[in-house]
């Protein structure tokens, strides 16, 4: 079986974890600070705050911007549930805006129509590793005096116009094992804003900046030093992981060129291909679901991200008063193929042959 995702861990991570275990400093030690510094430098921001996972990173970011009950946050209905959950966890209201079928990201031209006096933020997702159109989003945000929180959980190292995602606004990352780099469970928030960074550090640590002094109610959203030690080693390898992802995509593109009825993602500069997501349109010879079943039968772990848009999920039905036709159509057409760094050329040959066999 060629899995859809697989973490790539080596002797470096093993040694780093052992070092932490032997030190006895499993939490609130030096490794978290070291990982935060390295990550901030990599993204090109002043501050990086490590968290327990990507969901808590997003939740803390929404809270740190003072967003809560009565406030609206514009986001995409075509993402992992955590994006919308973070808005709800803060007591705010998600307002969905449809996506662009060429990028699977928020359609910037539809955002202004969704802005009201209650809108406090735009929460774009750099879905599948492709940056959202940050220039357009930033000009909308500036015009309406609202903030941007980037969900970069799938886009470590991705660049838009030569700048890393997570450096445009408040960036939120996840280090879950399926992501481009991992710490097991883990997350990171990036910002250039000193005061925001201070608020974030309080929120993730029981409202405390000084031991046993609590200025506000907060959470325990801290990362462990075991996770941070893994993260430090993974970060060193991230660029090579992302290069391998792009090389795998190039290879598949050469093998498949063009197939009527299938739309391949473009090899956009700065795209880090967290997922390689094709569209099996109704013009293709077989349905998307038969396509999927046939590849899985051949040992190719393809998967559908995401089969149900958020506004169709039970918990979000009250927020989905409108329809989002593109998101709904994409949910019917998308299919992601394994291209992660442990996928070999032989694997890619198998994948290409399986797809050719269906065409
Ligand atoms: C993975 C992911 C998250 C949540 O991260 P966790 O570390 O799993 O909590 C949030 N948003 C998106 C788009 C993700 O892919």
For the chain, the structural domain boundaries read: 11-234, 239-358
Take residue 189 and report the two structure tokens written for it: 């928030």
* Ligand 1 pocket residue status of 341, Cβ below 6 Å: no
87 ligand 1 Cβ < 6 A: no
Task: With cut-offs at 50, 70 and 90, classify the pLDDT of residue 137.
Answer: very high
CATH 3.90.1150.10 describes domain 239-358: yes
Residue 274 alpha carbon, nearest atom of ligand 1: 15
- Kindly state the average pLDDT of the residues 284-295: 97
* Mean pLDDT computed over 136-154: 98
If pLDDT is split at 50, 70 and 90, which confidence band does 215 have?
confident
Atom of ligand 1 nearest to the CA of 58: 10
Only one residue has tokens 């861990």, namely 9
Is there an atom of ligand 1 within 6 Å of 265 CB? no
Length of the chain: 359
Question: Cα-atom radius of gyration of the chain, to the nearest Å?
Answer: 20
pLDDT tens string 81-123: 999 999 999 999 999 999 999 999 999 999 999 999 999 999 9
Cα(181)–Cα(8) distance, rounded to whole angstroms? Answer: 8
State the catalytic residue, choosing from 31, 120, 164, 179: 179
- How many CB atoms lie under 10 A from the CB of residue 26? 14
Report phi then psi at 138, rounded to 5: -65, -35
At 129, phi and psi to the nearest 5? 95, 5
pLDDT, tens digit (0-9, with 9 covering 90-100), for 160-191: 999 999 999 999 999 999 999 999 999 999 99
- Going by C-beta distance under 8 Å and a sequence separation of 6 or more, which residues neighbour residue 142? none
Proportion of the chain above pLDDT 90, given as a percent = 95
Question: Residue 317: what pLDDT?
Answer: 84
Residue 350 confidence (pLDDT) above 80: yes
How far, in Å, are 26, 32, 86 from residue 226 at the CA level? 6, 9, 25
**What ligand 1 atom has the least distance to the C-alpha of 56?**
9
- The backbone torsions φ and ψ at residue 175, rounded to the nearest 5 degrees and listed phi first, read -120, 35
150: enclosing H helix or E strand? strand 147-151
The finding on whether 54 has its CB within 6 A of some atom of ligand 1 is yes
Q: How far apart are CA 104 and CA 330, in angstroms?
A: 8
Nearest atom in ligand 1 to the alpha carbon of residue 174 is 7
Indicate the DSSP class of residue 301: -
Binding site membership of 154 for ligand 1 (Cβ less than 6 Å): yes
The CB density around residue 203, as the number of other CB atoms within 10 Å, is 24
E strand or H helix that includes residue 148: strand 147-151
- Side-chain-side CA neighbours of residue 306 (13 Å): 21
CA gap 350, 359 in Å, rounded: 15
The predicted pLDDT at position 209 comes to: 84
pLDDT in the model for residue 291: 97
Kindly state the average pLDDT of the residues 2-31. Answer: 97
Topology of domain 11-234 in CATH is 3.40.640
Name the residue at shortest CA distance from atom 2 of ligand 1.
Answer: 153
pTM to 2 decimals? 0.98
Taking the C-alpha atoms of residue 73 and residue 62, their distance in angstroms, rounded to an integer, is: 9
Which residues are paired to 99 by β-bridges? Answer: 106
Share of the chain above pLDDT 70, in %: 99
Reply yes or no on whether 314 is catalytic.
no
Average pLDDT over residues 58-62: 98
Q: How confident is the model at residue 211 (pLDDT cuts 50, 70, 90)?
A: confident
For ligand 1, say whether the CB of 151 is within 6 Å of any of its atoms.
yes
pLDDT at 320 over 70: no
Q: Whose CA is nearest to atom 5 of ligand 1?
A: 54
Mean pLDDT score, 256-270: 94
């Amino acid at each position: 079986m060629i899995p859809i995702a697989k973490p790539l861990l080596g002797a470096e991570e093993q040694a780093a974890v052992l070092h932490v275990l032997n030190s006895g400093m499993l939490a609130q030690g030096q490794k978290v600070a070291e990982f935060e510094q390295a990550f901030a430098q990599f993204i090109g921001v002043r501050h990086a705050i490590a968290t327990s996972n990507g969901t808590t990173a997003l939740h803390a970011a929404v809270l740190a911007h003072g967003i809560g009950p009565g406030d609206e946050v514009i986001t995409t209905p075509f993402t992992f549930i955590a994006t919308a959950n973070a808005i709800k966890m803060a007591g705010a209201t998600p307002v969905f805006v449809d996506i662009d079928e060429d990028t699977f990201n928020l359609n910037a031209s539809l955002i202004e129509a969704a802005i009201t006096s209650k809108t406090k933020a735009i929460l774009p997702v750099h879905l599948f590793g492709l940056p959202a159109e940050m220039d357009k989003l930033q000009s909308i945000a500036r015009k309406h005096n609202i903030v941007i929180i980037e969900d970069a959980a799938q886009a470590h190292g991705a660049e838009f116009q030569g700048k890393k995602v997570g450096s445009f606004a408040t960036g939120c990352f996840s280090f879950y094992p399926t992501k481009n780099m991992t710490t097991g469970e883990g997350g990171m928030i990036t910002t250039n804003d000193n005061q925001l960074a201070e608020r974030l550090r309080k929120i993730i640590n029981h409202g405390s900046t000084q031991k046993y002094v609590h200025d506000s109610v907060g959470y325990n959203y801290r990362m462990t030093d075991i996770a941070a030690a893994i993260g430090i080693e993974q970060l060193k390898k991230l660029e090579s992981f992302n290069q391998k992802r792009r090389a795998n995509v190039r290879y598949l593109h050469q093998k498949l060129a063009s197939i009527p009825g299938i739309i391949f993602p473009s090899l956009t500069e700065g795209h880090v291909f967290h997922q390689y997501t094709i569209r099996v349109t109704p013009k293709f010879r077989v349905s998307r679901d038969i396509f999927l079943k046939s590849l899985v039968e051949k040992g190719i772990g393809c998967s559908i991200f995401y089969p149900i848009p958020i506004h169709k999920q039970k918990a979000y039905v009250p927020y989905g008063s409108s329809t989002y036709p593109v998101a709904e159509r994409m949910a019917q057409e998308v299919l992601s193929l394994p291209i992660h760094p442990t996928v070999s050329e032989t694997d890619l040959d198998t994948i290409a042959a399986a797809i050719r066999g269906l065409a």
